[in-house]
Amino acid sequence: MTTKDIGPKNPVQKSADATIDYVDERSGVKTGTRWFLFRNIPEGTSWYQTLGFTAMVVFGMQAITGIILAMYYVPDTRGGAYESIQRITEEVTWGWLVRGMHKWGASVMIIVVFLHMARVFIWGAYKYPRELTWVTGAFLLLLTMFMGLTGYLLVWDQKAYWATVVAVNIFASAPIVGPYIGDILRAGPEFGPATLSRFYSIHMLVIPGAIATFIGLHLYFIVRLGISEPPWSKRRLRIERDEEDARREAARERAKALPGAVTYPATWPVKAEEGVR
Least distance in angstroms from the C-beta of 6 to another protein? 27
Closest to another protein by CB, 37 or 71? 37
Complex with another protein: residue 70 or 261, whichever CB lies closer: 70
DSSP secondary structure, 21-38, as one string: HHHHHHH-HHHHHHHHHS
Tell me the closest approach of the beta carbon of residue 182 to another protein, in angstroms.
Answer: 8
Select 113 or 204, whichever has its Cβ closest to another protein.
Answer: 113
Least distance CB 253 / another protein (angstroms): 24
Q: What minimum distance in Å lies between the beta carbon of 163 and another protein?
A: 5
Q: How far apart are CA 264 and CA 214, in angstroms?
A: 57
Q: What's the CA gap between 266 and 263, in Å, rounded?
A: 9
- Give burial (CB, 10 Å; 0-12/13-18/19+) of 153: buried
What is the nearest approach in angstroms of another protein to the Cβ of residue 64?
Answer: 11
Nearer to another protein by Cβ, of 108 and 261: the residue is 108
Is residue 71 within 8 A of residue 141, CB to CB? The reply is no
Question: Which amino acid, one-letter code, is at 268?
Answer: W
Q: What angle do CA 168, 218, 141 make, to 5 degrees?
A: 25
Distance CA 30, CA 24 (A): 6
3-state secondary structure of 42: coil
Residue 70 burial (CB count, 10 A): 14
Q: How far is the CB of 273 from another protein (least distance, A)?
A: 22
* Four-point Cα dihedral 193, 198, 199, 201, nearest 10: 130
Reference 196, options 74, 64, 91; nearest CA is 74
Nearer to another protein, 51 or 207 (CB): 51
Q: Are 72 and 95 in contact (CB under 8 A)?
A: yes
Q: Which is nearer to another protein, 21 or 91 (CB)?
A: 91
Distance CA 239, CA 244 (A): 9
Instruction: For residues 135 and 221, give the distance between their C-alpha atoms in angstroms, rounded to a whole number.
Output: 11
C-beta closer to another protein: residue 97 or 272? 97
Closest distance between another protein and the C-beta of residue 94, in Å?
10
| Cβ 75 to another protein shortest distance, Å | 13
In the complex with another protein, the residue whose CB is nearer, 99 or 198, is: 99
